[in-house]
């Protein structure tokens, strides 16, 4: 899935939730008795979807996430009627605030979230290649994800992406700079150095210098690394 496709899906889901929220808030504000059955199920599904999207897009602990958590923690949350529906308005307010931030390009971590989604697709492809016996193609694909992840982290931490010769930095120089900036620990740096060597062997056709086991280990490492740092 491309980054543009992913952001389109995020925007579509957010717009749908805001539209649905407008209807639900209006309906509950005019409810004569406590909402039950199918109507309550629809509200709770909207709440669940909203909480998931807010956290994934804005991040845990963001202003939008905290607003949602506070509203969700309201006493007797699901006992909803015209006299007890402010919590839904608060969630709707968080959604609309997030909608504005997204449209205005104010979510700095959104591209990391989208990139993580794209990288997950590539790593699944690499896993499939490994299962089919194509260790060399998998190695190139996995190391490409690793390099792009390091590049994104460097950008997020205002570290250089190109060297003094004007050429893009590769895995090891990016790795060294990030470690010096304390973005990750020395052990992580050492592991990345070993994967940089494997990547170089794969890129130069030295396929006999590594085996399937090492490529599987690299896949597991990159999966964990992306999960830890691309949130």
d(CA 115, CA 3): 7
pTM of the model as a whole:
0.51
Helix axes 135-156, 186-203, angle to 10 degrees: 130
- pLDDT tens string, the chain, 231 residues long: the values are 445 556 676 788 889 999 999 999 998 888 778 778 888 888 888 999 899 888 878 877 888 999 999 998 887 788 887 888 889 999 999 999 999 888 877 665 555 555 555 556 677 778 888 888 888 888 888 888 888 889 889 988 899 999 888 888 999 999 999 999 999 999 999 999 999 999 888 888 888 999 999 999 999 999 889 888 865
Pick the CATH number of 110-229 from 1.20.120.330, 1.10.3720.10, 3.40.50.2300, 2.30.110.10: 1.20.120.330
d(CA 228, CA 155): 17
Tokens linked to 42: 């629809």
Q: What is the pLDDT, as a whole number, of residue 1?
A: 45
d(CA 151, CA 115): 11
Q: Are 216 and 206 in contact (CB under 8 A)?
A: no
| Chain-centroid distance, C-alpha 52 | 12
SS (H, E, C) the chain: CCHHHHHHHHHHHHHHHHHHHHHHHHHHHCCCCCCCHHHHHHHHHHHHHHHHHHHHHHCCCCHHHHHHHHHHCCCCCCCCECCECHHHHHHHHHHHHHHHHHHCCCCCCHHHHHHHHHHHHHHHHHHHHHHCCCHHHHHHHHHHHHHHHHHHHHHHCCCCCECCCCCECCHHHHHHHHHHCCCCCHHHHHHHHHHHHHHHHHHCCCHHHCCHHHHHHHHHHHHHHHHHHCC
| pLDDT tens digits for range 127-173 | 888 888 888 888 888 888 888 889 889 988 899 999 888 888 999 99
- Signed CA dihedral, 73, 77, 78, 81: sign only: negative
């Amino acid at each position: 899935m491309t980054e543009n496709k992913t952001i389109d899906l995020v925007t579509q889901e957010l717009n749908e939730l805001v539209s649905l929220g407008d209807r639900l808030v209006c309906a509950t504000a005019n409810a004569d008795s406590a909402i039950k059955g199918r109507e309550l199920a629809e509200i709770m599904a909207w709440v669940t979807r909203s909480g998931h999207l807010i956290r994934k897009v804005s991040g845990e602990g963001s202003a939008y996430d905290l607003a949602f958590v506070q509203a969700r923690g309201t006493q007797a949350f699901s006992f909803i009627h015209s006299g007890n529906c402010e919590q839904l308005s608060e969630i709707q307010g968080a959604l609309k605030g997030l909608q504005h931030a997204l449209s205005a390009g104010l979510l700095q971590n959104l591209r990391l979230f989208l990139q993580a989604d794209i990288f997950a697709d590539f790593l699944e492809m690499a896993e499939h290649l490994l299962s089919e016996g194509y260790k060399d193609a998998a190695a190139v694909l996995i190391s490409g994800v690793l390099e792009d992840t390091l590049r994104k982290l460097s950008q997020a931490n205002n570290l250089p992406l190109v060297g003094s010769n004007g050429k893009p930095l590769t895995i090891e120089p990016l790795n060294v700079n990030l470690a010096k900036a304390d973005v990750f620990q020395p052990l992580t740096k050492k592991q990345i150095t070993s994967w940089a060597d494997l990547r170089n062997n794969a890129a130069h056709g030295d396929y006999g210098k590594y085996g399937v086991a090492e490529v599987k280990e690299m896949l597991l490492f990159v999966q964990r690394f992306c999960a830890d740092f691309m949130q």
